[in-house]
Structure 1
């Protein structure tokens, strides 16, 4: 059958739904887990390091551009996944001894390869998946033997198909510990349960990366809020001459807040997203309480929720402060603009007044000029009349001069007006009346 062409991303998007499947696990199993905080520049290095490990054990490496990979390397199984901010490595071996944490799988991985891994450890965990056994577990004995007597956090998970215990503490070997006792988990179900438990710890710490930032920002925000209060109070009494300086101060404050917000916006958004993932993974555990032991959800609400509340409060303060500074800047900018317009109107009014005065002076001068020119022209006419009288013509000079004055005035005025029109036309000004 001939079908329309595929969308370029159809296959990739469909395969994404099946990416990173949980590994099938059957008790007893040991797992060493690393989550390395990394930046995008290290992604290719991490992929190359996984490829080198696979080739060293004679196994096909990950494909170019791959973001997840799993393989059986003989001495251990490897699962590697890349995420936006971190990469995860799981090293898995089958079987356990009396102490499920005595021989962790990571000891079978070349030490120089582990030491060279790109990124910084955010989570390191040794996990053990054991059969539940015929007897009920003694939690005090488990705590003393496997968790250094620390307070345990745990629950029955997967609707009672298994029991999970941890203390969320980092031991001297830089690893925390996770114990799962399998009652009736199917292999894929066991893999999903382990993955969710490891993700809870990973996303919990990734969310808490924002807490130091929030604590550092809190006093800065208090200082910015104090300065904004001073500026807004000054708005009620500032003079026109003081407005530009106040606006410069406000713009500087806005720039500082915007710089801080742009630097930390991603981190606060990521914290909220990671916290939601923690809550979702806990829901997916389907946990039931073990008497006298704190559940994963209770531990999260008591430890992580306050940290996230602090981060959310600081983020909300920063957003609110940015909004208030924007409003204050708009208000003061409007005031400065109105003041500037008033000043410009005053200047224009003054210029108009001076222009009117100059026009009146010009008209006065022009009137005097007409009189002066008329005087000289009539004088010339008088000379001509007297010359004609001297030749014997019947001319009376004074009468001729007097009679010529109105005509001379009219001609001079018309000539001046014509000159005005020509000047205005050449200058592109409105016509002169």
Structure 2
């Protein structure tokens, strides 16, 4: 039973299944030429600016443009074919044009599909083109040695890279922007199977595009060097001030009478906090760019790995060229990332050390306060004990007086009592009873 009802399928099943086929490669057959443009999306640009450029180009030829949410577009305009792809940070326009016959390489780079594109539309790409490349594909039989002098003549660079790829093709390039503003690639078909040429050209163009996107992190790394040097010098100065203040003052001298850090410690804390903020801002400004550069670099290496290169005698391979030219730039970006992290860690350690020193000083100050409070409490206890003795005398005095009045009252009632003798005898007894009573009361309160 076929499963075609939308009720049976997961809502994302069709979308996820189509993702693997969302960016098909061009079907190419030598002799043919390709022009590839990669337009970088600036931070202040609107998200759909490259889509509007595509719609404008389609409008020049009376062709309906893609939908507003499209990420891929292909159309055969007759004289040329166009493939448009939308990526996260850039959009690519790949123009392809077939030729009826082969031409010398010097003339082949003059027969480009971009000649059929309106110049007004090209001028509208001002400030957006990051990659512009021409690819010329020529047919050659297996075992036929290429004319190296003819191939070198179409490149202006002195360092040429080339290799046998996929066992049945050759790729030549100097990865240099020529005087016409385009980089150039020569792909020789030595017997590729159907559709292999299209996949090969797509990999080559992706290598060039991802290489340029990866290098976007290098200016950030170079610009960050000056800032990192300044922050490191300032941190070294502040650390030296901390050491000097440790030698000149005791821990108790780092806080004032109220237990707060003194002016010198406050200034150090503000300076270190400012360095931490500047370091964090620098890391936030560069984190995405450096991460993206590493991701693009990994894609470049993956695409080169897929080519399965074999060396052509006397020439470096594409892998060797990238290792010699691109890898150092990526190593610089990675070193800058590590340096930023190490600097942030050192600033945090310095801040912790200063905070610990201030905390120790505050604890010592608090200890001194507690000691003075304990001394005052002991004085109050001794004063209370002295007053307690007077309290026994006072209470006993009043109780003896009351007992004396009672004795006088009994004598007036006719009892044979010597009031003075009775009062004198009761004094020690009353004092003892009052003293024992107060001690018992204190014992109950203490318990």
TM-score tier by shorter-chain length is 0.7 to 0.9
What's the CA shift for 1:70? 1.5
Among 178, 190, 193, the alignment partner of 1:183 is: 190
Among 129, 133, 144, the alignment partner of 1:125 is: 133
Q: Please state if 1:46 is matched with 2:40.
A: no
Gaps of 5+ in 1: 422-429
1:238-257 residue pairs with structure 2 within 5 A?
238=246, 239-240=250-251, 241-242=253-254, 245=265, 246=268, 248-257=270-279
User: Which position in structure 2 is the counterpart of 1:284?
Assistant: 306
User: Which position in structure 2 is the counterpart of 1:426?
Assistant: none
Q: Is the 8 A contact 1:154 1:290 kept in 2?
A: no
Q: Please state if 1:79 is matched with 2:88.
A: no
Q: Partners in 1 of 2:346 and 2:352 — Cα distance? A: 10
Q: Partners in 2 of 1:276 and 1:283 — Cα distance? A: 10
User: Which position in structure 2 is the counterpart of 1:9?
Assistant: 12
User: Which position in structure 2 is the counterpart of 1:407?
Assistant: 430
Q: Is the 8 A contact 1:389 1:397 kept in 2?
A: yes
Gaps of 5+ in 2: 256-260
* CA distance 1:220–1:386, shift in 2 (3 Å): same
What's the CA shift for 1:38? 1.2
Q: Is the 8 A contact 1:143 1:152 kept in 2?
A: no
Q: Is the 8 A contact 2:33 2:98 kept in 1?
A: yes
What's the CA shift for 1:247? 5.1
Q: Please state if 1:305 is matched with 2:327.
A: yes
Q: Which moved more, 1:300-309 or 1:182-191?
A: 182-191
Among 148, 157, 162, the alignment partner of 1:139 is: 148
Among 13, 16, 21, the alignment partner of 1:18 is: 21
Q: Is the 8 A contact 2:164 2:312 kept in 1?
A: no
Name the TM-score, length of structure 2 as normaliser: 0.79
What's the CA shift for 1:58? 4.4
Query: How many pairs were matched up?
Result: 422
Q: Partners in 1 of 2:316 and 2:269 — Cα distance? A: 55
User: Which position in structure 2 is the counterpart of 1:315?
Assistant: 337
Name the TM-score, length of structure 1 as normaliser: 0.81
Q: Partners in 2 of 1:5 and 1:330 — Cα distance? A: 59
Among 78, 100, 107, the alignment partner of 2:108 is: 100
Query: Deviation string for 1:12-57 (max 9, x for gaps)?
Result: 3332222312111012222221111215764333234324433554
Q: Is the 8 A contact 1:46 1:118 kept in 2?
A: no
- Secondary structure, aligned partner of 1:169: strand
Q: Is the 8 A contact 1:272 1:308 kept in 2?
A: yes
Q: Is the 8 A contact 2:35 2:132 kept in 1?
A: yes
User: Which position in structure 2 is the counterpart of 1:363?
Assistant: 385
What's the CA shift for 1:123? 0.8
User: Which position in structure 2 is the counterpart of 1:427?
Assistant: none
Q: Please state if 1:88 is matched with 2:89.
A: no
Q: Partners in 2 of 1:111 and 1:389 — Cα distance? A: 139
Q: Is the 8 A contact 2:392 2:431 kept in 1?
A: no
- Secondary structure, aligned partner of 2:78: coil
Q: Please state if 1:347 is matched with 2:369.
A: yes
* CA distance 1:157–1:22, shift in 2 (3 Å): farther
Query: Deviation string for 1:371-429 (max 9, x for gaps)?
Result: 234435545665776688789876544335434544377469858987x99xxxxxxxx
